Structure 1
Amino acid sequence: MAASIELVADFGHQVTGVSVSETGRIFVNFPRWTEDSAVSVAELKDGELTPYPDKEWNAWRNAKKDQLTPGDHWVCVQSVVADQRGSLWVLDPAAPAQAHVVSKGPKLVQIDLATDKVARTIAFDEDAAPQGSYLNDVRFSNDGKYAFITDSGVRGALLVVDLAAGKTARVLDGHSSTQMKKGLNVSADGKVLRRPDGRGVEFSADGIELSKDGAWLYWQAIKGDELYRIPTAALVGDGLDGKDLSDQVEHYGINGVNDGLLIARGTDDMYLSAVQDNAIKVRKLSDGPQAQAKLVVQDERLRWPDTFSKGPDGTIYVTTSHIQDSAFFKPDAPPALPTQLWRLRFDS
């Protein structure tokens, strides 16, 4: 399986998430990391960005933080996910610069794609999103009743959300499977990534995905190379009941350092964004924990492949967030960091 990449869009600031709806609409988001983003969530139409769902939701600015309510504005959006059921969900950890969590800002917001109006907001309190948290990515159970979220902050965890009840449980908080791996360094361009203060890449549980039958939730830390999984029945049962899930976590082999994960619908092929290699790889989950990831495409333009999404026609999209080029690691980098959205073209 070999592929090439084709440019879909260039952006003037740092992109992370992308999601394609069942009708082919493309949505992207721009976290408020090293710049005060002018647009946080947007729909991409003919190469142009339209603030989504409207300008007011995108009106938050650092200078206006005392003027705008964080519960109904995008503070620092990390991911967008179309659920293939007519909604776009926006995950806002509300922690600009991955630092202080803005009070009453963390939330999961559902937008009705038929009306482009917000249908529901699930707010996360300090028990679910404490200081030091950074809610990262989200997946939804096959029946649409539950959401599963990774927290890549200083103390990693998973969140389980009963969408109808609005109930959230923080699980595996501090468990080794959700934490950064001690002694592991993340490199780019052949060098260990370090901030000016000596810190490296420090992201806990990040990449997340559901098996094709919805029975298993997979995840891994960016500062980590191991894949883990747990039965979703455990998450929505014992997890929501506040019980310990440690003995239900399974180690599922070595992925290497990756950011986003994608299991192509109807398959057991897990695509991996191999950030250290400027590459995308794939492993077949049915081959078990010993399965080896195989190269799909390697290209110097894939600078920190970040988030995947698959369109209704089967096209796989991936963002490149250029984290290694950002002001976190290069103090002289421009605050408005050029990034891209790509599509994969597979060889026939």
Structure 2
Amino acid sequence: MGVDDNSRLWIVDAGVTDFGGKVIAGGAKVVVVDLKSGEVIKVIPFDSSIAQEHSYIDDIRLNGKHAYLTDAGVPGIVVLDFETNKARRVLTTSPAVRAPKNRDIILSGKVVRAPDGTALRVHSDPLEVSPDGKWLYFAPLEGPWHKIETRWLDDANLPEIELVKHVEFWRDLPPAGGTVMDSKGNFYFSDLAEDSVKRIATDGTIQTIAKDTRLHWVDAPAFDNQGRLYLPAAQVDRVGLFNNGASKVERPLSVYRIDSK
């Protein structure tokens, strides 16, 4: 999700039956909601050239007249132009959007496994835009992270073979359930293996700001206008899909808050 300067909430509907499952025809879309009225003001559907078989278009970040979305099922970045409502798949040939074969997602000391029993691999998933809009940071859930200047992504005339040359390595981070960047450029991520939330300061130093078994698979952390950080403990690895159909989710589900200091 993302909120623009006009207080409109941009929501991604992956339009799939389950993670990595069959894409429902016409199901994948972006829905724009006016936060003041609560009304849906725009729906931007993705056709089969964007939401492909086994796609899982998962996350979105806004930048000027563009939005960037990740596809965790079929590796790639989707660039959406607000003015034309046209979308493009990019970086599909870059290794930076593909989950490494030698990195497992581990929580509570256990490897998260897909329904077929293999270690779960999640392609391009978390992403962030720098406060000045210059950089897009992105990664498969397992890491590592790369970055690219948004000016290259926004150029619809730049061929894929040239675009991938502008991808730069950024950081080798562990599997992250969710990320957020504050207005100063500090980068926050949930370290799944540690049930913790960490901050990468603008000087590059990393600090653990919260660690607790209740912070299990924090996903979609977000700041409010008072600088308070909200941490939804999603427990994604405990759903039935990843446990032979038997849910191990511990209720009640909770959202935690860290107040600004």
Same fold per superposition (TM over 0.5)? yes
- Corresponding residue for 2:88? 169
Match of 1:96 among 17, 29, 33: 17
1:105 paired to 2:27: yes
What displacement does 1:84 show?
4.0
Provide the C-alpha distance between the structure 1 equivalents of 2:111 and 2:247, rounded to a whole number of angstroms.
Answer: 21
Report if the CA contact (8 A) 2:198-2:206 is conserved: yes
State the partner residue of 2:200.
Answer: 283
1:146-200, CA deviations, whole angstroms, 9 ceiling, x for partnerless residues? Answer: 11101111x2110001111111110011421111111111111112222463222
What is the Cα deviation at residue 332 of structure 1? 5.9
Label 1:201 to 1:135 Cα distance change in 2 as closer, same or farther (>3 A). Answer: same
| 1:343 and 2:257 correspond | yes
Does the 8 Å CA contact 1:281/1:293 hold for their aligned counterparts? yes
* RMSD (Å) for aligned C-alpha atoms: 1.8
Partner of residue 298, structure 1 = 211
Comparing 191-200 with 120-129, which one deviates more in the overlay? Answer: 191-200
Question: SS of the counterpart of 2:23?
Answer: coil
Greater radius of gyration (CA): 1
Q: Does 1:255 align with 2:255?
A: no
Q: Pick the aligned partner of 1:309 from 218, 222, 245.
A: 222
Letter in 2 for 1:241: N
For the pair 1:151 / 2:67, whether they are aligned, the reply is no
Structure 1 unaligned runs (5+)? 1-79
Distance 1:336 1:182, change over 3 A: closer
Q: For 1:314 and 1:190, locate their aligned partners in 2 and report how far apart those are by CA, in whole Å.
A: 33
Q: What is the percentage of aligned positions where both structures have the same residue?
A: 26
Contact 2:152 2:158 in 1 (8 A): no
8 Å CA contact 1:255, 1:293 repeated in 2: no
2-structure distance, mates of 1:336, 1:273: 18
Query: Residues 45-99 of structure 1: CA distance to partner in whole angstroms, max 9, x if unpaired?
Result: xxxxxxxxxxxxxxxxxxxxxxxxxxxxxxxxxxx32224210111111002121
Contact 1:216 1:230 in 2 (8 A): yes
Q: How far apart in 1 are the matches of 2:124 and 2:197?
A: 19
Amino acid of the structure 1 residue aligned with 2:186: D
Distance, in Å, in 1 between the alignment partners of 2:199 and 2:11 is: 27
Higher relative contact order (CA 8 A, sep 6+): 1
1:36-185 correspondence runs (5 A):
80-98=1-19, 99-141=21-63, 143=64, 145-153=65-73, 155-185=74-104
With normalisation by structure 2, the TM-score equals 0.92
Question: How far, CA to CA, are the matches of 2:157 and 2:27 in structure 1?
Answer: 25
Deviation at 1:241, TM superposition (A): 2.5
What SS does structure 1 have at the residue aligned with 2:58?
A: strand
